[in-house]
Amino acid sequence: MENRALDYMKQAEILILGIETSCDETAAAVISVSNNRLAVLSDVVSSQIEIHKVYGGVVPEVAAREHVSRILPVINRALAEAGAALSIVLSPGRLAAIAVTAGPGLITSLLIGVETARSLSAAWALPLIPVNHIEGHIYANFIGESAEAFEFPALVLTVSGGHTMLVLMRGHGRFEMIGETLDDAAGEAFDKAAQLMGLGFPGGPAVSIKASEYRPAVPSPNTGLKTGRQGSEVSLPRPMIESNNCNFSFSGLKTALRYAIEKDPDWRSRTPAYAFEFEQAVTDVLVGKTVKAIKATGAKTLLLSGGVAANNLLRQRLSLAVGGEYGSLPIHMPAPRYCTDNAAMIAAAGYFRLLKGETISYDKIAVSPGMRI
Ligand code: KG4
Ligand code: ZN
């Protein structure tokens, strides 16, 4: 794209429609970017949690069928609400582009979003931007912020149901993998732990709520935060916390929890203690590895992203660790609403791709279920 066109784009008000269907949320949003600041005009998420709850996890065929029936009403609502926010009737011609999640995710779910975006792009003659779902989670940090809000290199802890990774962001669209999970993702570990303890789905919030019922004998003296081990009746491992790299492993933690409750005839009465210790164990590892990665990379900012980033304990503990030990290292976390799957984050990531002219024709876009960052 020519420099003059880019300068114009940075000044004018750009509207982008985002579409997200990689897993079990059917989502559409319109963001506006003017004077380099990203604002959400509409953000519609139609959750299928109530349907998948019955099965204890997401059933791909069911998810795809639900996406088919929900996608057009969700997009219509996103456009109508964005129009209302601007006090106009928003015609598609006013949009600068459509950004859609192309991967990673469930192939049958991704296809619904991508095929819908393809059709709308052809019908409305709009450029199409394929977005990596993980990149979308990372760009949730830019929602409500200036495009120049953060100093690079920024370290990003991305923790979701499908991914756990530490990524060094050297600039827009420039990512370097620093560490990732060797087996289960952190969110997946929460989901499996919740299933073992009969706490429901999704597991992260369920484990957290149960953990908050636990009253340890000895509260933490320094921070006022309840911490694991002290006075805790149960004990779980912190996998790989001492290992000399920034990788993670959570499947052993889930197995340790299973063995512990199998051996404990009274585990049901102690569920809050198990939930508490499990949440502490996951958090200890995530915080420990993040601090290690900051030291190793010399990152200037820490960003948090993904569904597990909505977890209060993780947010508090990271703020303390990074703010405490590293003094002034700025840390940013999206509002919890933008941590879990949504389409505003996809539109935000799409904006930065659009700035680089990275659009694709409707006949070229393809889903990429195993897409890497
Ligand atoms: O990012 P996300 O909405 O979907 C994926 O891309 O995977 O993340 C969903 C995951 C689930 O595993 C869910 O249990 C977890 O995020 N999660 C949480 C919390 N809220 C959602 N985990 C811990 N604490 C939370 N408050
Ligand atoms: Zn996600």
Instruction: Give the model confidence (pLDDT) of 55-80 as tens digits.
Output: 888 899 999 999 999 999 999 999 99
Q: What pLDDT was estimated at residue 57?
A: 82
Ligand 1 centroid – CA 130 distance (Å): 23
CA distance 246 to 293: 6
CA distance 30 to 83: 9
> Ligand 1 pocket: which residues have CB below 6 Å?
23, 160-162, 187-188, 190-191, 202-205, 208, 306-308, 310-311, 340-341
Q: Can you tell me the mean pLDDT for 91-101?
A: 97
What are the pLDDT digits (tens) for 211-221? 999 976 655 55
Ligand 2 centroid – CA 328 distance (Å): 29
Q: Can you tell me the mean pLDDT for 333-359?
A: 97
Q: Can you tell me the mean pLDDT for 167-184?
A: 97
Q: What pLDDT was estimated at residue 56?
A: 80
Nearest CA to ligand 1 atom 10: 161
CA distance 318 to 291: 9
Give the pair of three-digit tokens for residue 236. Answer: 């779980």
Q: What pLDDT was estimated at residue 7?
A: 64
Contact 206, 192 (CB under 8 A): no
Q: Write the single-letter amino acid at 131.
A: V
The number of beta carbons lying within 10 Å of the beta carbon of residue 72 is 13
Contact 133, 104 (CB under 8 A): yes
Q: How many CA atoms lie within 13 A of 358 on its CB side?
A: 15
Q: What pLDDT was estimated at residue 222?
A: 55
Query: Which of 192, 207, 340, when mutated, tests ligand 1's pocket best, judged by the most ligand atoms within 8 Å of its CB?
Result: 340
Ligand 1 centroid – CA 120 distance (Å): 30
What are the pLDDT digits (tens) for 209-260? 999 999 766 555 555 555 555 556 799 999 999 999 999 999 999 999 999 9
Q: Pick the ligand that lies closest to the CA of residue 131.
A: 2
pLDDT class of 6 with cuts at 50, 70, 90: low
CA neighbor of 110 nearest in space, from 89, 136, 86: 136
Q: Write the single-letter amino acid at 327.
A: G
The three-state secondary structure class of 210 is helix
The answer to whether residue 10 scores a pLDDT higher than 70 is no
- Extended strands (E) in the chain: 14-20, 25-34, 37-47, 97-103, 128-132, 154-159, 164-171, 174-180, 301-305, 331-332
The answer to whether residue 28 scores a pLDDT higher than 70 is yes
Percentage above 70 pLDDT, the chain: 91
CA distance 41 to 90: 11
CA neighbor of 190 nearest in space, from 309, 90, 95, 92: 309
pLDDT class of 12 with cuts at 50, 70, 90: confident
CA distance 142 to 172: 11
Q: What pLDDT was estimated at residue 233?
A: 79
Q: How many CA atoms lie within 13 A of 357 on its CB side?
A: 7
Taking each continuous run of H as one helix and of E as one strand, the counts in the chain are 12, 10
CA distance 269 to 278: 16
Q: Which residues contact 126 (CB under 8 A, 6 or more apart)?
A: 92, 95, 96, 97, 98, 120
Nearest CA to ligand 1 atom 21: 307
The answer to whether residue 320 scores a pLDDT higher than 80 is yes
CA distance 229 to 236: 9
Q: Pick the ligand that lies closest to the CA of residue 312.
A: 1
The three-state secondary structure class of 25 is strand
Of 110-114, 215-219, 331-335, the range with the lowest mean pLDDT is 215-219
Percentage above 90 pLDDT, the chain: 87
Q: Can you tell me the mean pLDDT for 254-271?
A: 97
Ligand 2 centroid – CA 373 distance (Å): 13
The answer to whether residue 275 scores a pLDDT higher than 60 is yes
Query: Which of 160, 192, 250, 371, when mutated, tests ligand 1's pocket best, judged by the most ligand atoms within 8 Å of its CB?
Result: 160
Ligand 2 centroid – CA 143 distance (Å): 16
- Residue 65 to residues 25, 51, 70, 110, 133, Cα–Cα distance (Å): 12, 12, 9, 12, 20
Round the average pLDDT of the chain to a whole number and report it.
93
Q: Can you tell me the mean pLDDT for 309-323?
A: 94
- Strands of 128-132's sheet in order across: 37-47, 25-34, 14-20, 97-103, 128-132
Q: Can you tell me the mean pLDDT for 356-372?
A: 96
CA neighbor of 170 nearest in space, from 153, 190, 149, 189: 153
Q: What pLDDT was estimated at residue 53?
A: 87
CA distance 5 to 2: 5
